[in-house]
Amino acid sequence: MYINYFTDFFLCLFFTFLHFFSKRSGRRTLLLGVSIYSCYFIVSLFGPEFLYFFDKTALLICFFTLLYNVLYFFSYRMIVSYTLVSTTIHSLFFTVMAFYAKIVPLNPLILLYYRFNDLFYSTPYPIVNLFLLYLSVAALPLLNIRLIFICFFIFCFLSFAQKTFSSTKNIHQQKIKVGVVQVGLYYQLGGNTTDFFPDLLKFLRKNNDIDMVVFSENTVYGFKNQFNKKITQKMISDLKASNAHQRHAFIFNFFGFNDINNIVSVYYYKDNLLINQKKSLIPFVEQQWFFSDKYDNTDEYLSIRKDIVNQNINHNGINIKTYICYDVLFPETHKSDNELVIVQSNYKLLDKNDMYNRIIKNGSILGWFAVATNSLAYINIQNHGGTVLIRKNGKIDYSVFATSLKKPFFVIDV
């Protein structure tokens, strides 16, 4: 735990140092510094294996990390000698790029924000919070020591005032029990398609006070091929025959559904049916990009349906927002006031070493920062174990995480 704290802190310190270094160094020296920083970023957050496991996923992460950091620091080098206005525009550009261009914001200060969120001033708008993180460090080389201390005390005062005000608010939180279904872990532990739904029904009978059952992102259930379609239709038929949907709400995750060639979340409760789709597809993995191999099997790629507009779920008076894996990594422009945020994820492509659990947690922290800092709870349900719950206090519930590594079905009290 202490090693992780030190690693995150040093990464943020390195990131801050490069802002000062950019102002004074030559291009070659800066390129060397940015390359070293990018390697350290990958090693500390993903593990050294990502530098020499040259599969598609590792190459994509290494290439994107280096390209992002080179673009960030070299553009910063061009404007840092000017005024605070140009620095503000630079920070604004990379903030807007995260939302509109769907570029994952590789700002390590997000990890620092998570660890010390009680001390940070934040707004209800995630994209504004990201902008403040960028600007707070980008402006440092332009300020003298006196101005730095003045800005620091202003932020401390704003943070104190915000925490004092929020502590006086009377927040009524309606309780909800969520049944977590980690599909991949079930099959990893020896389960089979014949017993899957009967085992799920046994779990629900033992925990009949569950309000909602949520599946992880998975490729087992869906309509992408005939075998998966057959077992999915059988599960839906068995569900209707059992009438379990009359007592519990279900949020399925399907890899293709009917004529929808995309990953979808399907909310099903009594006579209510709501379909949300994945809005951000992973380049080279889920969608074809400029540098994709021309011999790739295009049948494996997905597509976003323009006629499907994602909606919030209102379940028994609780406002619930759902995301699918990669979708959650980009900061929202609107106010993050959903009571419960549920993410259906599958990080299995990143499971290359013993840092996999850390990767899951860091991915969940980025998602929480991007969409749920003001929510009462944020649940990132993983396919192969490692489900993360971040409560209103902004901290990971490690007892839930430990349980999720062993049990494919379990209950979260929110």
Give the separation between CA 175 and CA 122, rounded to whole angstroms.
26
pLDDT of amino acid 173: 64
pLDDT of amino acid 170: 47
Domain boundary among 167, 194, 227: 167
Most confidently predicted of 20-29, 73-82, 99-108, 374-383: 374-383
For residue 53, what pLDDT band results from cuts at 50, 70 and 90? low
Domain boundary among 128, 148, 167: 167
Give the separation between CA 98 and CA 243, rounded to whole angstroms.
43
* CB 213 within 8 Å of CB 251: yes
List the structure tokens of 212. 């909602």
- Same domain, residue pair 311 and 394: yes
Q: What is the mean pLDDT of residues 144-166?
A: 64
- Same domain, residue pair 236 and 119: no
Closest residue by Cα to residue 182 from 211, 207, 213? 213
Q: What is the mean pLDDT of residues 271-281?
A: 92
pLDDT of amino acid 2: 44
Domain boundary among 131, 147, 167: 167
- Same domain, residue pair 159 and 183: no
Residue 72 pLDDT exceeds 50: yes
Q: What is the mean pLDDT of residues 32-42?
A: 95
Which has more pLDDT, 43 or 3? 43
Closest residue by Cα to residue 367 from 393, 332, 329? 329
Domain containing residue 189: CATH number: 3.60.110.10
- Same domain, residue pair 161 and 274: no
**Percent of the chain whose pLDDT exceeds 70:** 88
Domain hosting residue 390, numbered range: 177-413
- Same domain, residue pair 220 and 133: no
Most confidently predicted of 73-82, 155-164, 312-321: 312-321
pLDDT of amino acid 158: 62
DSSP secondary structure of 321-368: EEEEGGGGGS--SS----SEEEEEE--GGG-SSTTHHHHHHHHHHHHH
Give the separation between CA 88 and CA 27, rounded to whole angstroms.
22
Residue 212 pLDDT exceeds 50: yes
pLDDT digits (tens, 9 = 90+) for 302-314: 888 999 999 999 9
- Same domain, residue pair 130 and 214: no
pTM above 0.85, yes or no: yes
pLDDT of amino acid 168: 46
Compute the mean pLDDT over every residue in the chain, rounded to the nearest whole number: 87
Query: Total structural domains in the chain?
Result: 2
For residue 162, what pLDDT band results from cuts at 50, 70 and 90? low
pLDDT of amino acid 289: 64
For residue 54, what pLDDT band results from cuts at 50, 70 and 90? low
Which has more pLDDT, 337 or 411? 411
- Same domain, residue pair 221 and 107: no
pLDDT of amino acid 112: 87
- Same domain, residue pair 108 and 40: yes
- Same domain, residue pair 38 and 159: yes
- Same domain, residue pair 162 and 189: no
pLDDT of amino acid 332: 86
pLDDT digits (tens, 9 = 90+) for 313-369: 999 889 999 999 999 999 988 877 788 999 999 998 888 777 888 999 999 999 999
List the structure tokens of 242. 């059992």
pLDDT of amino acid 189: 96
